[in-house]
Amino acid sequence: MTRDIWTMVWKEWREFRDQLLSLRRGGLSALILALILGVVAPVQLGPEWVHSKIIIGYWPFLAATMVSSLIADSVAGERHTLETLLASRLPDAAILIGKIVAAVLYGLGFAVANMLIGLIAVNVAHRESAPILFGAQRFVVTIILTVLASLLMAGIGVFISLRASTVKQAQQTFGIAIIVLTMGPLLLFNALELDTRMRVAVRMAALGEDRAEAYAVGILSLLSVIVIGAALARFRRGKLVLD
């Protein structure tokens, strides 16, 4: 099973690589984004780019965004070649999990690469007596949240792709889902009475950074399990071939 999953991961990564190496297929956009996030922003913000608490949520959001740019057509985009893939000896679960793992590794790799480039840029542009580095705990928590955010986004994207008949439909539905996930909590919070919002804000502040991070890890983990479980239940090669 593990070998089958990594076979699928390698297949997906070869497609990602071809896209990144082709300027017309997304390579130029990725290069510009890496230049802005890995060089321009760190140089302008300086040490604050490393030490700010916002960084814990910034990188998971970035990784999830990168995953969303690829995963929407993970199944819908292979409708014409899916028969050949599904006719192989690879189990259904290996195909689906391989796609998800490949997307998660892509998002994580992009985030970590930009973190390292940014650290170099900050230390070169803002030389201090000691190297400017991420704190060990913050770095570990950021990586964990980045993996979980990418996993959740990949799971949602695959589930939507399984239900979509075309790439365009998958992308449109996925775009709506992203808006609901990102804007929904904010709109819901703003819809509350002022006193209720104040109480919620006070309770959130009273949690403390460590407990807030633990809750974030728990919530993302639970949602990822639910979404990926639903995708695994939906993924049936016989039905996909007939579709």
DSSP one-letter string for 13-40: HHHHHHHHH-GGGTHHHHHHHHHIIIII
pLDDT of residue 241: 47
Residue 149 confidence (pLDDT)? 92
Judge whether 69 and 26 are in contact, CB under 8 Å.
Answer: yes
pLDDT of res. 23 = 53
What does residue 90 show for φ and ψ, rounded to 5 degrees? Answer: -65, 130
Q: Give, for all 243 residues of the chain, the pLDDT tens digit.
A: 777 777 778 877 777 766 665 655 555 666 777 788 778 888 888 888 888 877 788 888 888 888 887 776 666 555 545 555 555 677 778 888 888 888 899 889 888 988 888 888 888 888 776 788 888 888 899 999 999 999 998 888 888 877 766 667 777 777 787 777 777 777 787 777 878 878 877 777 777 778 888 888 999 999 999 998 888 887 765 555 445
Helices (H), 72-208: 82-86, 92-125, 136-163, 167-191, 194-207
- Alpha-carbon gap, residue 81 to 98, rounded angstroms: 17
Nearest to 213 by CA among 122, 123, 129, 139: 139
Q: What is the pLDDT of residue 239?
A: 53
Instruction: Print burial letters for 107-134: b (CB count within 10 Å at least 16), e (below 16).
Output: bbebbbebbebbbebbbeebeeeeebeb
Length of the chain: 243
Other CB atoms within 10 Å distance of the CB of residue 182 = 12
Task: Report DSSP letters for 40-61, one per residue.
Answer: IHHHHHTTHHHH-TTHHHHHHH
